[in-house]
Amino acid sequence: MANYRRGRINDEMLKEIAMILREVKDPRVQRAFVSVTSAEVTPDLKYAKIYYSYLTAEDPKEVAKGLKAASGYIRGQIARRMNLRMTPELTFIHDNSIKHGAHIATLLEGITFSEEESDDEGENGDE
C-alpha cells in the first residue's frame, strides 16, 4: 500500500513541478524549455530526484545551475500546492532518454527497403 501512495505522490510531484517550471523567471531555465520526465520521492519524503530534459542547445551546466538556483522557489511552491507532511529537498538530474529516443527514431526512418526486395518476398509467399 505504501508503494501505491508513493506512486501517486511521484505523479503529483511531476505534474506540479512541470507547472511551476513555467513560472520560473530564471532565463537559463526559460530559454531551455525544460520539461520534467520523471520524479522519484524517497519513502520518508525527505528527498526527491527530479529528472528533466530540455529542447534547446543551451549549455547543460548552465541549465543545471538555473534549476539549482530555482530549487528553493520550486520547493516553496510545492509546499503550498501539495498537502504533504514534509516537503522534500529537490535534486535535478538531466535525463537523456528523449534525445536518445529521437536518435533511434531517425535511425529507423533511415532504413528503407527497395521495391525489388519487397516483390521477391511477395512472390515467395504466394507459392
Which cell numbers hold the place of 100? 536518445
Question: Which residues have CB under 8 Å from 57's CB, separation 6+?
Answer: none
The DSSP bridge pattern shows strands 34-41 and 47-54 to be antiparallel
Q: Is the residue at 76 inside a domain?
A: yes
The domain tally of the chain equals 1
- The domain of 70 spans 2-96
Q: What is the CATH number of the domain that holds 46?
A: 3.30.300.20
CB 51 within 8 A of CB 95: yes
In a domain, 101, yes or no: no
Domain contains 13: yes
Contacts 24+ apart (CB under 8 A), 54-57: 56/31, 56/32
Instruction: Tell me, yes or no, whether 65 lies in a domain.
Output: yes
Helices of type H across the chain: 2-23, 27-30, 60-81, 97-110, 115-126
10 Å CB burial of residue 18 (0-12, 13-18, 19+) is middle
Count the Cβ atoms, other than its own, within 10 Å of residue 26: 18
Give the pLDDT confidence score for residue 115 in this predicted structure: 55
The answer to whether residue 104 sits within a structural domain is: no
The per-residue pLDDT for 91 is 95
Instruction: State which residues of the chain have pLDDT below 50.
Output: 1, 127
pLDDT of residue 1: 47
Nearest 5°: CA angle at 28, between 14 and 35?
Answer: 25
User: What percent of the chain clears pLDDT 90, i.e. is strictly above it?
Assistant: 46
